[in-house]
Amino acid sequence: MVKCLEHEGVEYIFGIPGEENIGIMDALLSSKIKFITTRHEQGAAFMADVYGRLTGRAGVCMSTLGPGATNLVTGVADANMDRAPIVAIAGQGATTRLHKESHQILDLVNLFDPITKYSVQILEPEIVPEVVRKAFKNAQAEKPGAAFIDFPENVADMEHEYIEPLKVQSPQHPVAPLGSAKRVLKALSEAKNPVIIAGNGVIRFDACDELLAFAEAANAPVATSFMAKGAIPSSHPLSIGTVGMKAHDLVAFGIEESDLVICIGLDMVEYTPSFWNPNADIRIVSIDASPAEVDTHFIPDIGMVGDIKDSLSRLAKRANAHTDNTITDLHHSIKAELCAHADDTGFPVKPQKIICDLRKVMEPEDIVISDVGAHKMWMARMFQAERPNTCIISNGFASMGIALPGAIAAKLVYPERNILAVAGDSGFMMNNQEIETALRLKLNITIIIFNDNKYGLIEWHQMREYGRSSHIDVTNPDFVKFAESFGAKGYYVKRAEDLQDVLKTAMNDGTVSIIDCPVDYSENMKLTARLKTLESPLEGKSK
């Protein structure tokens, strides 16, 4: 098993040792693979998740049987729905007791089957090379996702002649037929105000340069999903922001004014079509590596199915510019909106101000990992990413607790970059024990906590629906003392004016630093109210 994992190029295995995986743990002592001992299996799965998303190679996590394996479930499901390649391995009881009621025994193959692309149990030693190769092949094939291997302890202990791992093969993605390219170009030439929605598939295919070339050739503005932030630089004149919020934001006017929406590498889980095409009457082109998902509100007029990088490259060479595309005017309105609170001195600090300051102190290639909560909506809406995979947001499964484990994985992949985890107080508390993991690994990462002492996103939804909140208040520890108890650095933001200096200090500490920043989430409902009355900056300019 370990030789096969080495053959697949595995650098790290994230996990926790247990009785039923001690065979693998012992074999790893003589392996070049580094085992990262975590403090919870969910943290291990999130680390593998973000590793897979950043590298395109399957991250690997491991647990023992029973409760160890069930603790992997959330992170594995998150990776599968966010299209991050991951291989999860769990120890299992001996096959001699799987047929009956027995201590810590669960049918793990069937448990993981709905949240993976491939779920299997190893029943004989000689099938290990095939199982491992198939797990990695499935996990990394488009659309990527999760694979699960159940490894019974008695099978792991069986003596057997060594079998060479199978050859690692990655089949080339087929290119789209020439005819589909011609139909896309014809539709583009007939449109007056085309708009592009770029999804995570653009980043997975390393097609960001080709996306930009195509957008510039067609003079078509580009909106990105939460998971495709940075696929086009936010500062580029053709960038019109991020789609994904249910509310009617500025970018929504661009889609409404468009007579052709070109979706590129967009997964349905990133932005539900019913939000942006409620009447199912928008003309759609789908450019993706696989046929479009069946959805009442997403029925493409034209589908260009094939390698996304190749498709965009071909289209960019032949597209003609739309000199009168009025939707490009949205860029200036959105940019002004994003900078409106840059100098705000209110306290607690407005979320808009926090995000402006984050952008100012971070280099374009630095990476921010956003947890899930109210702050995620602000990050997705406002953080201006200049490079792909520099703003990592979980948006398919959207699981709380990913930021800190994800930051650990990001730092292992990119040790030369600043890595910042952005979390709400509640999301941070879900996997805060991984502070010790980061410290043990001597990693320099910074965690900023948007602290409101409640489940802020749930309150936001409750106030919108019912005008009152219910059971969302929590009590937090002193996060500075909490950090110091681990041996990390802790900072408390006392004034909005201090935030940039605190961030710079923390990022240069050379260790794990935690920033407690009180946040003014009264801005949530103010944004909701304003978006309800938002007027299009394109009035009088439309088609």
Per-residue model confidence (pLDDT) at position 499: 97
For residue 132, CA distances in Å to 9, 23, 89, 128 come to 12, 16, 10, 6
* Band (542; pLDDT cuts 50, 70, 90): very low
DSSP conformational letter for 175: P
For residue 174, CA distances in Å to 196, 288, 305, 337, 542 come to 23, 11, 9, 42, 38
DSSP per-residue codes, 446-477: EEEEEE-SB-HHHHHHHHHHHSS--S-B----
The CATH number linked to 292 is: 3.40.50.1220
* Band (543; pLDDT cuts 50, 70, 90): very low
Per-residue model confidence (pLDDT) at position 164: 95
Q: Which two tokens stand for residue 359?
A: 């952008």
The CATH number linked to 351 is: 3.40.50.970
Structural domain harbouring 81 = 2-156
Across 80-88, average pLDDT:
97
In a shared domain, residues 129 and 274:
no
In a shared domain, residues 282 and 363:
no
Reported as a single tens digit per residue, the pLDDT across 234-257 is: 999 999 999 988 778 889 889 998
* Band (536; pLDDT cuts 50, 70, 90): confident
In a shared domain, residues 357 and 501:
yes
Per-residue model confidence (pLDDT) at position 442: 98
Across 374-385, average pLDDT:
94
In a shared domain, residues 241 and 319:
yes
Across 116-137, average pLDDT:
97
Across 120-134, average pLDDT:
97
Residue 406: closest CA among 1, 35, 37, 52: 52
Integer Cα distance of 440 and 418 in angstroms: 18
Reported as a single tens digit per residue, the pLDDT across 184-206 is: 999 999 999 999 999 999 999 99
Contact 13, 38 (CB under 8 A): no
Last residue of a domain, one of 302, 329, 356: 329
Residue 229 has pLDDT above 50, yes or no: yes
Per-residue model confidence (pLDDT) at position 84: 97
Reported as a single tens digit per residue, the pLDDT across 470-482 is: 999 999 999 999 9
Last residue of a domain, one of 156, 189, 204: 156
Contact 70, 92 (CB under 8 A): no
Tell me the Cα Rg of the chain: 24
Is residue 537 a part of any domain in this protein?
Answer: no
Is residue 150 a part of any domain in this protein?
Answer: yes
Residue 50 has pLDDT above 90, yes or no: yes
In a shared domain, residues 433 and 469:
yes
Is residue 239 a part of any domain in this protein?
Answer: yes
Reported as a single tens digit per residue, the pLDDT across 480-508 is: 999 999 999 999 999 999 999 999 999 99
Element at 419 (helix H, strand E): strand 419-424
Residue 516 has pLDDT above 50, yes or no: yes
Across 411-418, average pLDDT:
98
**What percentage of the chain exceeds 70 in pLDDT?**
99
Is residue 169 a part of any domain in this protein?
Answer: no
Per-residue model confidence (pLDDT) at position 283: 96
Residue 104 has pLDDT above 50, yes or no: yes
In a shared domain, residues 220 and 96:
no
In a shared domain, residues 321 and 357:
no
In a shared domain, residues 127 and 267:
no
Is residue 172 a part of any domain in this protein?
Answer: no
Per-residue model confidence (pLDDT) at position 540: 57
Q: How many domains does the chain have?
A: 3
In a shared domain, residues 291 and 354:
no
Residue 517 has pLDDT above 60, yes or no: yes
Reported as a single tens digit per residue, the pLDDT across 387-406 is: 999 999 999 899 999 999 99
Is residue 357 a part of any domain in this protein?
Answer: yes
Is residue 378 a part of any domain in this protein?
Answer: yes
Last residue of a domain, one of 329, 348, 369: 329
In a shared domain, residues 283 and 369:
no
In a shared domain, residues 412 and 504:
yes
Comparison of pLDDT for 514 and 256, the residue scoring more: 514
Residue 34 has pLDDT above 90, yes or no: yes
* Band (534; pLDDT cuts 50, 70, 90): confident
Residues 6 or more apart whose Cβ sits within 8 Å of residue 126: 160, 163
Query: Three-state SS string across 5-41, please?
Result: HHHCCCCEEEECCCHHHHHHHHHHHHCCCEEEECCCH
Across 450-464, average pLDDT:
94
Contact 38, 362 (CB under 8 A): no
In a shared domain, residues 446 and 484:
yes
Is residue 410 a part of any domain in this protein?
Answer: yes
